[in-house]
Structures are given as C-alpha cells and as structure tokens.
C-alpha cells in the first residue's frame, strides 16, 4: 500500500485513506459487494435529477469495447468545442494505462492516465489540473489492494466526484471519457456505468460498424447502464466500411428506434488513421533506433518480411522492388538485402525526387556495422534493432506482433491527431451529443 501511495502521490492520497479507520471502511465496502448496486453512493454523491445543470454541462463518452474509438471521438469533440471558444475540461475518471507527469502546481511527479497526458499536451488551455483530470489511475496490483480492503471504493468515489465538481464549476462543458467497455472496473465496484451514475451523467456509446454483432454487443453494454439508472443518450457508429455507410444508417436507426435512442454519428473507416508509426513499432517490439529517430512518426501502408534471398533479389522474372511506404523486416545476416533496400531508396529519390518513405526493423545477434548504419541514415530510412533472443529465428513473431497491434494516439503525433479530429467532426452531430 505504501509503495502505491508513493507512486500516486497527488492523484490518490492513500495515506489519508488508510488512516480513516479500517472497521468503518470495511463495513461500507462489504455492503457494496453484497449486491447493493447503489451502495457506493453516499447521500452527497447521489446523482442529480434528470434535466439538471450537470446534464446540460457534461457527457460521458464510453464504448462497447477496447479500440472501438472512444478516445478518437472524444478528441474530435474537444477540438470542436474549443473552436467555439468555450472553456472545456476533459476528464478520465478511472484510468488503467498510466504515465508520469510533473504536477504544474506542486512540482511533484504524478501517475496519470496516458489519454489525459495526450489531451493536456495537445490543448494546454483545457480547464483543470492533472490530478482532477485523472483522479483515479490503476497501477499494477491495484485490484488486489481493493479486494484486500487496503483501498476502499467509497474513497475512490469521493475522489472522482470532488474532482468532477471542480472541473464542472470552472468550465463551460466537461467531456468525460470512460475506460474500455461499460463493465470495465466492475471488480472494484467502479465500472463506467457506476461512474456515470455517481457524476449524474448521460452516456454516448461508441460502437463498431456492422449491424448484428455490433448491436448485440451494444445491447449487453446498455443493460449495464440501465442497471445503474444511467440514460443512453445516443450511439455513434465508428469504423464503418464506406460502401456500407447507408446500409448501417438505415438499419441501425431502425434498431435504435425501438429503444428511443438516437444515432448521433456514422464515422467511415480511414485507411491511414490506424496505421502504426515507427514509434509504435519501437514500443511494441521493444526495439532501439539505429538511425532516423527524427522520423519516428512515419507510418506505413505495407509490411514485408524478407525470409530468403529470392524475396528481394534473386528472381528477375518479376518485380521484387520495395513499394513506397513499406516497413521491411529482415535478419541482420541479410546484409546484401539491407544494402539493396538502401540502394532502391537512393535510386528512386534520384530518379523521381520523391522519398520511398520506408522503414526497417532488423533482428539478429549482431548490430550492422557503422558504415551500413550511416548509409541507412543518409538514405532517410528509420531503422529499429531488436535482439535475436527476443524473437524467433525468422521474424514471424515480429510480423505477428505488428499485424495484431492496434494504433494508439501519441501526443507528439500532432498532425495525425488534427486529421483524426477533422475526420470525426465531419461525421458526428456534436450539437446532439452535448445538448
């Protein structure tokens, strides 16, 4: 517990929590776990009545699953509301993936949700402190601490509510983002539906494109909202195949009409927005840059694994040249292939004046020589190196990791964040979301 306190100082002052009296806190926690869905709400924390001031000044954006697009939608909303010259606050009441930041008021290091770091870095004018924007963040082992009664859900509830009320009082509107699907956090009696109930918020759910499976998952999440007395304000469909936009619009609206819930947006897939950058690959693969770190935000349309000499050089009966915007994965022993890739970039630039904009991931026991690294750097090819012991012998583990990973926003990828915001705002009814 004390280790956790030190790490989270300024976000959750657990030393105070632990001094409040174990007996009374355990009694409150036990009442919650016995099935009282509203047991975590003190009289002061109970939600305001429908149509209250809170409901006119804030909304929670949640999703039916991880990677369904709630952060993407929230980014677009915040950008558009700031463009109206409103004083906007953003809050992630419960966060799971944390990053360290320096508190602007105390100068102390805090652990906050990574999305809060992105929003505050992108828009420094957002209302509120780091600690109010990310009041509860889960370090490793946090769930066990709650279940062992070292941390009490009731104290987390009060922390979330007090932070939200400060943001609400200081801003024109608060955009609240959930975490994962609606049920995430249930293990500590603080899932998204419970948080929305505590704060008195309606919820807009972001769901993936489709009809049958998508709606089935939506229904499951909606049931949990209803269990905690939370209104589903609207639904936004995300990552819809462009050719099926109208079909999704017609049939999803028909299905939602049975609930009296409006469809507030249909966002088509964009082939470039989810593409991974070199920075993402470095994090996923635990790689180090040999060169080209200034191009860490470069992303790729193609991924190619070089396994044998014929993959790139040997067969002259077909074109085996590297496509533009390709990430190439190869073993460090294939030095001739590496040099051939560099040569292709150099020749293409000389002939067309355009960069092939490629990237390379090398794996193996030995780092290439300094001359080869210098040639890669001169050709403008960002290159990562991964130790052989971290992967299989042929690179298939690397391909598997690359293909199975979903793009996450990076705060220094400003251009892509702006493009994401513009894409979102072209396809949602913001006035309906915030009404």
Rg from Cα positions in the chain? 25
Residue 4: its pLDDT value, please? 44
Which residues in the chain come in under a pLDDT of 50?
A: 1-51, 314-318, 390, 393-394
What does the pLDDT read at residue 233? 97
Question: What is the CB neighbour count within 10 angstroms for residue 68?
Answer: 24
Take residue 191 and report the two structure tokens written for it.
Answer: 């899932």
* Separation between Cα atoms, residue 90 and residue 202, nearest integer Å: 16
Query: What was the pLDDT predicted at 403?
Result: 56
CA distance 355 to 161: 52
Bridge partner residues of 428 (DSSP): 265
E strand or H helix at 240: strand 232-240
pLDDT reported for residue 391: 52
Give the angle 71-75-81 at the CA atoms, nearest 5°: 140
- What's the pLDDT at 130? 92
Q: What is the pLDDT of residue 271?
A: 67
What are the C-alpha distances in Å from 171 to residues 53, 124, 145, 394? 13, 14, 34, 55
> Residue 263 CB: number of other CB atoms within 10 A?
19
* Residue 415, Cβ density class (10 Å: 0-12 exposed, 13-18 middle, ≥19 buried): exposed
Kind of pairing, strands 98-102 and 109-113? antiparallel
**What is the per-residue pLDDT for 418?**
85
What six digits make up the tokens of 47?
A: 């939600």
Q: What is the pTM of this model?
A: 0.68
Task: Give me the pLDDT at residue 192, please.
Answer: 95
Query: Is 186:218 a contact under the CB 8 Å cutoff?
Result: no
Question: Residue 331 belongs to what H/E stretch?
Answer: strand 326-331
Angle between helix axes 212-227 and 192-199 (nearest 10 degrees) is 50
pLDDT score of 68:
82
DSSP string, 373-435: HHHHHHTT--EEEEEGGGS-SSSHHHHHHHHH------TT-HHHHHHHHHHHHTTB-HHHHH-
What's the pLDDT at 321?
Answer: 79
């Amino acid at each position: 517990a004390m280790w956790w306190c030190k790490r989270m100082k300024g976000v959750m002052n657990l030393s105070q929590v632990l001094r409040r009296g174990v007996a009374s806190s355990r009694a409150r926690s036990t009442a919650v776990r016995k099935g009282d869905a509203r047991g975590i709400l003190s009289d002061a924390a109970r939600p305001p009545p429908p149509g209250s001031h809170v409901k006119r000044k804030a909304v929670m954006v949640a999703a039916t699953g991880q990677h369904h697009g709630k952060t993407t939608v929230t980014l677009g909303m915040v950008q558009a509301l700031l463009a109206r010259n409103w004083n906007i606050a953003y809050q992630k009441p419960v966060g799971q993936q944390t990053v360290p930041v320096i508190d602007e008021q105390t100068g102390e290091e805090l652990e906050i949700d990574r999305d809060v770091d992105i929003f505050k870095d992108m828009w420094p004018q957002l209302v509120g402190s780091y600690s109010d924007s990310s009041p509860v963040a889960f370090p490793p082992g946090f769930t066990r601490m709650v279940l062992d009664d070292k941390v009490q859900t009731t104290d987390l509830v009060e922390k979330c509510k007090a932070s939200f009320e400060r943001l609400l009082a200081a801003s024109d509107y608060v955009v609240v983002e959930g975490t994962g699907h609606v049920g995430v956090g249930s293990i500590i009696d603080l899932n998204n539906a419970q948080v929305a109930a505590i704060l008195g918020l309606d919820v807009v759910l972001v769901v993936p494109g489709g009809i049958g499976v998508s709606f089935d998952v939506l229904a499951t999440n909606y049931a949990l909202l209803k269990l905690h007395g939370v209104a589903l304000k609207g639904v936004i469909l995300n990552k819809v195949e462009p050719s099926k936009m109208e079909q999704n619009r017609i049939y999803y609206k028909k299905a939602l009409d049975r609930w009296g819930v409006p469809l507030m947006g249909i966002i088509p897939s964009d082939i470039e927005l989810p593409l991974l950058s070199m920075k993402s690959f470095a994090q996923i693969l635990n790689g180090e840059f040999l060169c080209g770190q200034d191009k860490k935000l470069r992303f790729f349309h193609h991924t190619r694994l070089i396994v044998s000499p014929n993959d790139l050089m040997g067969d002259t009966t077909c074109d085996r040249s590297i496509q533009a915007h390709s990430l190439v994965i190869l073993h460090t022993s294939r030095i001739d292939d590496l040099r051939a890739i560099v040569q292709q970039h150099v020749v293409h630039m000389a002939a067309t004046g355009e960069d092939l904009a490629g990237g390379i991931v090398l794996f193996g026991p030995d780092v290439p020589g300094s001359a080869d690294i210098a040639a890669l750097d001169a050709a403008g090819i960002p290159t990562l190196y991964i130790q052989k012991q971290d992967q299989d012998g042929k690179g298939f583990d690397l391909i598997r990791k690359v293909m199975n990973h979903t793009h996450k926003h990076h705060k220094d990828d400003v251009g892509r964040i702006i493009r994401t915001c513009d894409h979102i705002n072209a396809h949602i009814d913001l006035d309906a979301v915030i009404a």
